[in-house]
Structure 1
Amino acid sequence: VPIDGYGVGTAIGAASDAPALELAYKLTVYAGEPRMKSSSGKASWPGAKQVFRESDSDGNHVGDVIAGIDEEFPGTPLLRPVMQKGRLLMDAIGSMEDQENWAWEQILALPELQRTLEQAPAYPVTISDYLKKLQADTLARIQPERPD
């Protein structure tokens, strides 16, 4: 099931002196239909997605595009399945050393300003027009008409 975010915390439905696990996720597709959270200030992007990272000719990252799963954009697609039918796809993740090396490569390819501890301009992330329309359409479908 496609999900957008996954957060981990503590103390969900458990006494403070007992072991606990708190987590949340954003369901984005269910039974083939786009889903989204519509709370004010917490709206999510519905539908399965892909993220494309664009780099310049020197390999430095210049921005990401969050798009629908079937869209195509310049850049490298970042998301890939790591589980299928409840099983971990080992070929998809590689070794821990591979993952660490990939993460460092990605960090070092960010603009220098984004790698400092100082306040920096936001790294450019764009939402595709398709996802914007899908969000508006999904919101219209899930929110009842309000009388004037």
Structure 2
Amino acid sequence: MKNTYEQGEAFETLSYNLVQEALNNFKFGLLPSCCKVFKKQPYYSATREKNIVFDISLEVWPEGAERRTLLYLIECKDYRTHKVPIDDVEEFWAKASQVSDMGVKPVMITTSTFQRGAYIFAKNKGIMLIEVDEKLNTNPINLLL
């Protein structure tokens, strides 16, 4: 049996693969050739005066661009026994908003579902929510927002 760290790492790897697959199948509405996907990539926070590391990130770099034009910051939550609470969504939003000097799209992926308050908060803040089925298959996934 995996400990919680190993379980979290395994879900982050699965989520990374899910993001790559969705990108390659144009489910994000982006050109894969203009995108880079990373695990554990740091992004600078002027508020903290240091980097914040996110589980997964997807950077959009149009051809010939000198810097990225859009950044998806992705938080992975492997909660098989309970729903993702509003506190987790608020904390992630607070971190993502610290690196929003350019276009940022926060995304949360979970093996569970989201509490009603978490869903409402995400909807009002423009956070994309993705639910992966309980067998950890990439199909079907539920893109909520």
Interval of TM-score (by shorter of Structure 1 and Structure 2): under 0.3
Q: Which has the larger radius of gyration?
A: 1
Higher relative contact order (CA 8 A, sep 6+): 1
TM-score of the superposed pair, with normalisation by structure 1? 0.26
Is the helix fraction higher in 1 or 2?
2
